[in-house]
Amino acid sequence: MKILVINGPNLNLLGEREPAVYGGDSLQAINDELFTRAKRMGYDMAFFQSSNEGSIIDRLHDSRLDCAGVILNAGAYTHYSYAIRDAIAAINIPVIEVHLSNINNRDEFRKTSVIAPVCRGSIAGFGKISYMLALNALDYLFGEQK
Ligand code: DQA
């Protein structure tokens, strides 16, 4: 079973981007840790990062063909992209919304997630651990299927 990890705009700069908010780990370091954990659990993992809304939508569409689930940090698109929301609703695999920061205790505009209602669940505020928790959540959902 393959799990896809999608990171949206500006997340390629993790480590140097506002480290007080998003932590000091690079996206590569987070992905490496996810990969190691996923492998130990018996999953394949694929990674995709783009700051382009359409590319994220295309990757979500493709994921329905060969992935069992998606871990998605849509970055700022979280707060206003109805197109990404519709792409998630269009595919029949679980998508877990993740955020490094706690989007509920920051700017007002971050408190709205337009994708949350169509995601299987949401995890925010644990820094890079949010991604690890999302992997665990998918593992629980998949149970013995793998
Ligand atoms: C984020 C939170 C978003 O509000 C922000 O635009 C990001 C990162 C997070 O992981 O905390 O780019 O998704």
Q: Per-residue pLDDT tens, the chain, 146 aa: give them.
A: 999 999 999 999 999 999 999 999 999 999 999 999 999 999 999 999 999 999 999 999 999 999 999 999 999 999 999 999 999 999 999 999 999 999 999 999 999 999 999 999 999 999 999 999 999 999 999 996 65
Which DSSP symbol is given to 27? Answer: H
Instruction: Give the CA-trace dihedral at 65, 139, 32, 123, to 10 degrees.
Output: 100
Q: Which atom of ligand 1 is nearest to the CA of 124?
A: 11
pLDDT value at residue 145: 65
How far is the C-alpha of 12 from the C-alpha of 85, rounded, in Å? 21
Q: Which atom of ligand 1 is nearest to the CA of 98?
A: 10
CA of 99 to the centre of ligand 1 (A): 6
pLDDT value at residue 88: 98
- Tell me which residue of 6, 86, 100 sits closest to 51, measured CA to CA: 6
How far is the C-alpha of 89 from the C-alpha of 60, rounded, in Å? 10
3-state secondary structure 29-70: HHHHHHHHHHHHHCCEEEEEECCCHHHHHHHHHHHHHHCCEE
Q: What is the CB-side half-sphere exposure of residue 59 using CA atoms within 13 A?
A: 23
Give the DSSP letter string of 63-106.
HHHH-SEEEEE-GGGGGT-HHHHHHHHHS-S-EEEEESS-GGGS
Q: How many CB atoms lie within 10 A of CB 74?
A: 27
Q: At what angle do helices 27-41 and 129-142 cross, to 10 degrees?
A: 30
CA of 53 to the centre of ligand 1 (A): 15
116 lines ligand 1 (CB under 6 A): no
pLDDT value at residue 146: 57
CA of 79 to the centre of ligand 1 (A): 9
Q: Which atom of ligand 1 is nearest to the CA of 9?
A: 12
Kindly list the catalytic residues: 22, 99
**Class of 2-145 in CATH:** alpha beta
| Per-domain residue ranges of the chain | 2-145
pLDDT value at residue 144: 65
User: Which residue, chain included where needed, has tokens 């700069």?
Assistant: 13
pLDDT value at residue 99: 98
How far is the C-alpha of 20 from the C-alpha of 72, rounded, in Å? 22
